[in-house]
Amino acid sequence: MVVVSHDRVEALRCCLASIEKSDGRESLQVIVVDNGSRDGSAQLDDAFGNVQWIRLPKNFGLTKAWNLGWRAADAPYVLFLHADTEVEPGTVLRLAETLDSNEEAVAVCPLLVDGEGRPAPQLGNLPPDGKWRPAEATGSEPLAVGYPRGAAVMARVFYIKKIRQIDERYGQFGADADLAMQIRRAGRKILLVPGARVRHDPRASYPSAEGADFLLGRAVFLGKYAGIVAGIKGRIESILRPLAGLRLGELRYTIAGQKIDGTQE
């Protein structure tokens, strides 16, 4: 599995502690891609000696971190996790078993829950609009979903190799949407497994650079899947939306086209 973190040392500590309690932990390869953290995350090495660390000199964004992570993995499946997640003991093996028994599925995801165990916002729309809704998972059988949040998604490595890599024109946001769209276009499935659960505790708000990155990623998505005109409209929207909301910090980044991809100051 691949955990991506940037300046989330306490969340990362809880995430890794939950992984250590996973069923079959001895057979799991755990890779942390640390995106240039400056908050003491490096000090977790001693506490989690069975974790492989990829330490980057700065924040290269989620997309590049995902690509570095899955390439370093030595397994047929890779579970991508955000640092603000905690897995239940049986989750990883149950996800893998679901892929084992469903050849038509390219990816699977657990049910995201909040601190009280209630379904948390997880399913989005394509093109991505930043809005999430909880999954309506009332039964026990896996169900097909279109676009699950990338906080916790397991995918077949051979499929990512088939598309070469996750498109690095995205920075922090857009990788999960692009992967979901690629799977949809291939006529394959993403299955949500209600019995596999992951607690997700996302931030309530995001800094200006990340808000801009989302809008720029959306423009990339539109240009790639809806054509050049849609991409241009998305790029214009990335400027007009923060301007209308007087989000001047965000506007500065969108005018410059500055994503979180390692090129930012």
Question: Do 36 and 131 sit in the same domain of this protein?
Answer: yes
Tokens of 210: 């990340």
Taking each helix axis from N to C terminus, what angle separates 248-256 and 208-226, rounded to the nearest 10 degrees?
Answer: 40
CATH number for the domain that contains residue 134: 3.90.550.10
Shared domain check, 173 and 126: yes
Q: Is residue 166 located within the same domain as residue 104?
A: yes
Q: What is the mean pLDDT of residues 160-182?
A: 95
Domain boundary among 200, 216, 236: 200
- The answer on 95 and 39 residing in a single domain is yes
Label residue 161 by pLDDT band (50, 70, 90): very high
Are 98 and 220 part of one and the same domain? Answer: no
**What's the rounded mean pLDDT across residues 207-231?**
97
CA distance 58 to 35: 6
Could you give the percent of the chain with pLDDT greater than 90? 92
Average pLDDT of the chain is: 95
In a domain, 236, yes or no: yes
Residues 57 and 79 in one domain: yes
pLDDT value of position 206? 87
Question: Are both 168 and 80 inside the same structural domain?
Answer: yes
Q: Does some domain include residue 64?
A: yes
Instruction: Answer whether residue 143 shows pLDDT above 80.
Output: yes
- Flag whether pLDDT at 119 surpasses 90: yes
Rg of the chain taking only CA atoms, in angstroms:
18
Structural domain includes residue 263:
no
Give the mean model confidence (pLDDT) for residues 199-211: 89
Q: Is 244 found in the same domain as 157?
A: no
How far is 19 from 30, CA to CA, in rounded Å? 8
Residue 150 lies in a domain: yes
In a domain, 214, yes or no: yes
pTM for the full predicted model: 0.94
Q: At which of 200, 231, 246 does a domain end?
A: 200
- Say whether both 228 and 166 belong to one domain: no
Contacts of 222 (CB under 8 A, 6+ apart): 127, 230, 231, 233, 234
* DSSP codes joined into one string, 114-182: -TTSPBPEEE--SS--S--EE----SSS-EEES-B-TTEEEEEHHHHHHT-S--TT--SSSHHHHHHHH
What integer is the mean pLDDT of 68-87?
Answer: 96
The rounded Cα 187 to chain-centroid distance in angstroms is 21
Q: Is residue 265 in a domain?
A: no
| Shared domain check, 191 and 212 | no
Instruction: Say whether pLDDT at 68 is over 90.
Output: yes
Q: Is residue 262 part of a domain?
A: no
Residue 194 has pLDDT above 90, yes or no: yes
The domain tally of the chain equals 2
For residue 13, give its domain range. Answer: 2-200
Question: Are 112 and 7 in the same domain?
Answer: yes
- Residue 43 is predicted with a pLDDT of 87
Cα–Cα distance, 251 to 34 (Å, whole number): 28
CA distance 61 to 177: 15
Give 21-46 pLDDT, tens digit per residue.
Answer: 999 999 999 999 999 999 989 889 88
200, 228, 246 - which closes a domain? 200
**How confident is residue 10, by pLDDT bands cut at 50, 70 and 90?**
very high
**Do residues 68 and 193 both lie within one domain?**
yes
